[in-house]
Protein backbone atom coordinates (compact mmCIF):
# COMPACT_ATOMS: atom_id res chain seq x y z
CA UNK A 1 0.00 0.00 0.00
CA UNK A 2 1.30 3.38 -0.95
CA UNK A 3 1.67 5.97 1.73
CA UNK A 4 0.37 9.57 1.79
CA UNK A 5 3.74 10.77 0.46
CA UNK A 6 3.16 8.95 -2.86
CA UNK A 7 -0.24 10.63 -3.30
CA UNK A 8 1.28 14.07 -2.67
CA UNK A 9 3.96 13.50 -5.30
CA UNK A 10 1.26 12.75 -7.92
CA UNK A 11 -0.80 15.84 -7.13
CA UNK A 12 1.34 18.52 -8.83
CA UNK A 13 1.41 16.81 -12.28
CA UNK A 14 -2.36 16.14 -12.13
CA UNK A 15 -3.03 19.73 -11.01
CA UNK A 16 -0.90 21.07 -13.86
CA UNK A 17 -2.86 19.02 -16.42
CA UNK A 18 -6.15 20.19 -14.93
CA UNK A 19 -5.08 23.84 -14.98
CA UNK A 20 -4.05 23.56 -18.67
CA UNK A 21 -7.39 21.92 -19.52
CA UNK A 22 -9.28 24.66 -17.65
CA UNK A 23 -7.30 27.34 -19.46
CA UNK A 24 -8.19 25.80 -22.81
CA UNK A 25 -11.84 25.59 -21.81
CA UNK A 26 -11.91 29.20 -20.59
CA UNK A 27 -10.13 30.34 -23.77
CA UNK A 28 -12.69 28.62 -25.97
CA UNK A 29 -15.54 30.43 -24.20
CA UNK A 30 -14.27 33.81 -25.38
CA UNK A 31 -15.84 35.43 -28.45
CA UNK A 32 -14.56 34.02 -31.73
CA UNK A 33 -12.12 36.50 -33.21
CA UNK A 34 -10.92 36.22 -36.81
CA UNK A 35 -7.41 34.86 -37.12
CA UNK A 36 -6.33 37.65 -39.44
CA UNK A 37 -7.94 40.82 -40.68
CA UNK A 38 -6.98 42.94 -43.65
CA UNK A 39 -8.02 46.33 -44.88
CA UNK A 40 -8.91 45.93 -48.56
CA UNK A 41 -8.89 49.03 -50.74
CA UNK A 42 -12.01 48.65 -52.90
CA UNK A 43 -10.57 51.19 -55.36
CA UNK A 44 -7.58 48.93 -56.04
CA UNK A 45 -8.86 45.41 -55.41
CA UNK A 46 -11.16 44.04 -58.16
CA UNK A 47 -14.24 42.06 -57.23
CA UNK A 48 -13.86 40.06 -60.44
CA UNK A 49 -11.09 39.33 -62.94
CA UNK A 50 -11.80 37.67 -66.28
CA UNK A 51 -9.32 36.70 -69.00
CA UNK A 52 -9.80 36.34 -72.77
CA UNK A 53 -13.34 37.71 -72.85
CA UNK A 54 -15.70 37.85 -75.81
CA UNK A 55 -19.20 38.87 -74.80
CA UNK A 56 -22.36 40.49 -76.17
CA UNK A 57 -24.09 43.26 -74.19
CA UNK A 58 -27.80 43.97 -74.62
CA UNK A 59 -29.87 47.06 -73.99
CA UNK A 60 -33.66 46.63 -73.68
CA UNK A 61 -33.41 43.12 -75.13
CA UNK A 62 -31.42 44.20 -78.21
CA UNK A 63 -27.75 43.30 -78.64
CA UNK A 64 -25.86 46.61 -78.81
CA UNK A 65 -22.20 45.79 -78.21
CA UNK A 66 -19.64 43.05 -78.59
CA UNK A 67 -16.58 43.31 -76.35
CA UNK A 68 -13.33 41.42 -76.85
CA UNK A 69 -10.50 41.88 -74.39
CA UNK A 70 -7.65 39.82 -72.93
CA UNK A 71 -8.21 41.20 -69.41
CA UNK A 72 -11.31 42.60 -67.70
CA UNK A 73 -11.25 43.89 -64.10
CA UNK A 74 -14.53 44.71 -62.33
CA UNK A 75 -14.47 47.10 -59.35
CA UNK A 76 -18.08 46.90 -58.13
CA UNK A 77 -17.23 47.81 -54.52
CA UNK A 78 -15.38 51.03 -55.42
CA UNK A 79 -16.95 54.33 -54.41
CA UNK A 80 -17.56 54.91 -58.11
CA UNK A 81 -17.96 51.38 -59.60
CA UNK A 82 -16.02 50.83 -62.79
CA UNK A 83 -14.63 48.26 -65.22
CA UNK A 84 -11.02 48.41 -66.38
CA UNK A 85 -9.48 46.89 -69.51
CA UNK A 86 -5.71 47.43 -69.06
CA UNK A 87 -4.57 45.16 -71.91
CA UNK A 88 -6.71 46.65 -74.68
CA UNK A 89 -10.31 46.65 -75.84
CA UNK A 90 -12.07 45.81 -79.10
CA UNK A 91 -15.69 46.95 -79.11
CA UNK A 92 -18.27 46.71 -81.89
CA UNK A 93 -21.44 48.79 -81.68
CA UNK A 94 -24.57 47.49 -83.42
CA UNK A 95 -27.80 49.10 -84.60
CA UNK A 96 -31.31 47.66 -84.06
CA UNK A 97 -30.77 45.14 -86.89
CA UNK A 98 -27.41 43.88 -85.56
CA UNK A 99 -25.51 45.80 -88.23
CA UNK A 100 -22.19 47.18 -87.08
CA UNK A 101 -22.35 50.96 -86.65
CA UNK A 102 -18.86 51.46 -85.28
CA UNK A 103 -15.65 49.64 -84.41
CA UNK A 104 -13.61 50.82 -81.45
CA UNK A 105 -10.04 49.75 -80.67
CA UNK A 106 -7.97 51.13 -77.76
CA UNK A 107 -4.81 50.22 -75.86
CA UNK A 108 -6.76 50.46 -72.60
CA UNK A 109 -10.23 51.49 -71.47
CA UNK A 110 -12.24 52.28 -68.35
CA UNK A 111 -16.03 52.17 -68.06
CA UNK A 112 -17.65 54.15 -65.22
CA UNK A 113 -20.90 52.26 -64.58
CA UNK A 114 -22.97 54.89 -62.76
CA UNK A 115 -22.12 57.62 -65.28
CA UNK A 116 -22.35 55.25 -68.27
CA UNK A 117 -19.09 56.79 -69.45
CA UNK A 118 -16.23 55.16 -71.35
CA UNK A 119 -12.69 56.55 -71.30
CA UNK A 120 -10.52 55.12 -74.08
CA UNK A 121 -6.74 55.60 -73.83
CA UNK A 122 -3.61 54.96 -75.87
CA UNK A 123 -3.93 54.33 -79.58
CA UNK A 124 -7.67 54.89 -79.98
CA UNK A 125 -8.86 53.85 -83.43
CA UNK A 126 -12.54 54.11 -84.40
CA UNK A 127 -14.33 53.61 -87.71
CA UNK A 128 -17.97 54.33 -88.57
CA UNK A 129 -20.48 52.93 -91.09
CA UNK A 130 -19.06 55.25 -93.80
CA UNK A 131 -15.62 53.72 -93.25
CA UNK A 132 -14.28 57.00 -91.88
CA UNK A 133 -11.41 56.56 -89.44
CA UNK A 134 -10.87 58.51 -86.22
CA UNK A 135 -7.48 58.33 -84.49
CA UNK A 136 -6.65 59.95 -81.15
CA UNK A 137 -4.87 59.29 -77.85
CA UNK A 138 -7.88 59.70 -75.58
CA UNK A 139 -11.60 59.67 -76.23
CA UNK A 140 -14.65 59.82 -73.96
CA UNK A 141 -17.94 58.16 -74.89
CA UNK A 142 -20.95 59.25 -72.82
CA UNK A 143 -23.65 56.66 -73.44
CA UNK A 144 -26.24 58.55 -71.41
CA UNK A 145 -25.83 61.70 -73.52
CA UNK A 146 -25.12 59.66 -76.68
CA UNK A 147 -22.01 61.62 -77.61
CA UNK A 148 -18.26 61.22 -78.02
CA UNK A 149 -15.68 63.87 -77.24
CA UNK A 150 -11.96 64.44 -76.79
CA UNK A 151 -9.61 67.24 -75.79
CA UNK A 152 -6.65 65.52 -77.46
CA UNK A 153 -5.21 65.68 -80.96
CA UNK A 154 -7.59 64.07 -83.48
CA UNK A 155 -6.88 62.70 -86.97
CA UNK A 156 -9.90 61.90 -89.17
CA UNK A 157 -9.70 60.14 -92.54
CA UNK A 158 -12.72 60.43 -94.85
CA UNK A 159 -13.11 59.29 -98.47
CA UNK A 160 -11.95 62.66 -99.88
CA UNK A 161 -9.99 64.44 -97.13
CA UNK A 162 -7.99 64.19 -93.94
CA UNK A 163 -8.80 66.48 -91.02
CA UNK A 164 -6.55 67.15 -88.04
CA UNK A 165 -6.92 69.30 -84.98
CA UNK A 166 -7.41 69.48 -81.21
CA UNK A 167 -10.67 68.78 -79.43
CA UNK A 168 -13.49 66.78 -80.95
CA UNK A 169 -17.25 66.38 -80.49
CA UNK A 170 -19.53 63.87 -82.21
CA UNK A 171 -22.83 62.07 -82.05
CA UNK A 172 -22.73 58.42 -81.00
CA UNK A 173 -22.76 57.11 -84.58
CA UNK A 174 -19.82 59.37 -85.62
CA UNK A 175 -21.88 60.71 -88.52
CA UNK A 176 -22.08 64.34 -87.28
CA UNK A 177 -18.87 65.66 -85.76
CA UNK A 178 -16.73 68.76 -85.42
CA UNK A 179 -13.14 69.57 -84.53
CA UNK A 180 -12.82 72.44 -82.07
CA UNK A 181 -9.45 73.73 -83.25
CA UNK A 182 -8.60 72.63 -86.79
CA UNK A 183 -4.89 72.46 -87.55
CA UNK A 184 -5.05 71.01 -91.06
CA UNK A 185 -7.31 69.85 -93.89
CA UNK A 186 -5.69 67.79 -96.65
CA UNK A 187 -7.02 66.10 -99.80
CA UNK A 188 -7.01 62.36 -99.13
CA UNK A 189 -4.86 61.49 -102.17
CA UNK A 190 -2.24 64.15 -101.37
CA UNK A 191 -2.02 62.93 -97.79
CA UNK A 192 -1.55 59.31 -98.92
CA UNK A 193 1.24 60.31 -101.33
CA UNK A 194 2.94 62.19 -98.50
CA UNK A 195 2.70 59.08 -96.27
CA UNK A 196 4.10 56.80 -98.95
CA UNK A 197 7.24 58.98 -99.34
CA UNK A 198 8.14 58.73 -95.64
pLDDT by residue (tens digit) across 83-116? 999 999 999 989 888 889 889 999 999 999 999 9
What is the per-residue pLDDT for 164?
95
Distance CA 108, CA 110 (A): 7
pLDDT in tens, 161-185: 999 999 999 998 888 999 999 998 8
- Residue 95 contacts by C-beta under 8 Å, 6 or more apart in sequence? 101
pTM for this predicted structure: 0.72
Rounded average pLDDT over 129-145: 94
What is the per-residue pLDDT for 68?
97
pLDDT value at 117 more than 50: yes
Distance CA 8, CA 43 (A): 66
Under the banding of pLDDT at 50, 70 and 90, the label for residue 197 is very low
Rounded average pLDDT over 76-83: 94
Amino acid sequence: MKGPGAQMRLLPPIAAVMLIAMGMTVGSCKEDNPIATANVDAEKMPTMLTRNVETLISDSGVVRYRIKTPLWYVYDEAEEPYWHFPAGLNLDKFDNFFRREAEVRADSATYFKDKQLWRLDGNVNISNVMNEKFLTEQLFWNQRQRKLYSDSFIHIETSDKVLEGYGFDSNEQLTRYSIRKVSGIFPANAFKRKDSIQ
